[in-house]
Structures are given as structure tokens and as C-alpha cells.
Structure 1
């Protein structure tokens, strides 16, 4: 039988690793716990945490791509002619 307090703590560590390692690849802690732990419930929670964290990374990449294309491209179409005018036309009039 496995200790329930230890099971809860390690499972919470798996799911909370995304907050602790936001600057480093956050999947490493659940992968390490998955490889080290012998408790099947902890392994299941580690797999769920890995799935969640990879989904967060994927959704973040998709949102960053969409922000770059949907927001920045129309902004470039608006600012491009203005920058051309400011750089070439206005100095002629000055």
C-alpha cells in the first residue's frame, strides 16, 4: 500500500511544476517523477501533467503565431505607408 500523503504531494508537484519551472522546459519534473515513482496513481498523474503542459505549450505557440499573423500583418499594412511618408515625403517638404 502506498502512502496517501506522499501520493498527494508528488501528484501536486507534477501538476504544479508548470508554475515552478516557467522559464525552463516545464515537462522535465513530471517526466522525472514518472520515471522514478513506483506508485501507479502518481504515474497516472504525471502522465496527465505532461499532457497538460504540452498542450499549454502547443496552444501558446498557436496563439503566438496567430497574433503575429492576424494582428501584426494588418498593422504593417497600416504603418508601412505612413513610415514611407515620414521617411521620404516629409523631408522633401521640409
Structure 2
């Protein structure tokens, strides 16, 4: 079965780009919806990977928040910029890869894969 490469690019980029709306908790709903609606296996793999990345971001955010609270903000001041890079840079790479190589799903490095 052939899949539309433009649709594949758009849906895959949308899955990975949804993390940029993470201040809205429902941002994870975008890749979840795409996972259930799409029949394209590459898009489904990208959606699963985006969901895993959301979960990892939330876990690391909670850990940094607790550490910042316990150290009166000192560790938050140090770990905040590192978390910012972790939160923004990998999805940018994922979008670039999804648009440049639509036949392969992107895998985020250094994350736990729950789904």
C-alpha cells in the first residue's frame, strides 16, 4: 500500500512539533489523535515517539521542579537551561528528519520508551 509522502511529512512533523505547545497539557493529544487516525506505519511510529518524548519531558520537569524546590532554586537555576535545550532541540531535529526523510520514523536519543 502506498502512502502520500506529503501527508506523511505533515503528520509526522505535527506529532513532533506538538511539544512546542507543551504549556497546554493537551498538546500530547495531537500525537495521540494522529496515532489512532492514521493508517501510515511511519506516522504511527512518529506519533508513538512523540508521545514518549512528552512523557519524558513531564518526568524530567517534575524531577527538576522538586530538586529546585529542595535546594531553594539553586539546582533549578543550573538545570533549567539544560532542560530548556532538551525540551527544544530534539524536536527540531525530529521535524527536520521527518521532513527530509519521510520513509523512516525518528527516534529520540536518551529517552525512556513507554509506548
TM-score computed with the length of structure 1 as normaliser: 0.71
In structure 1, list runs of 5 or more residues that go unmatched: 73-94
TM-score computed with the length of structure 2 as normaliser: 0.59
Residue aligning to 2:66: 65
SS in 1 for 2:69: helix
SS in 1 for 2:60: helix
Which of 1 and 2 has higher RCO (CA within 8 Å, sep 6+)? 2
Runs of 4+ in 1 over 4 A off after TM superposition: none
Residue aligning to 2:33: 32
Q: Which has the higher Rg, Structure 1 or Structure 2?
A: 1
Q: From the two aligned structures, give the one with the greater helix fraction.
A: 1
Q: How many residues align?
A: 72
SS in 2 for 1:26: helix
Report the RMSD for the aligned CA atoms in angstroms.
1.3
In structure 2, list runs of 5 or more residues that go unmatched: 74-115
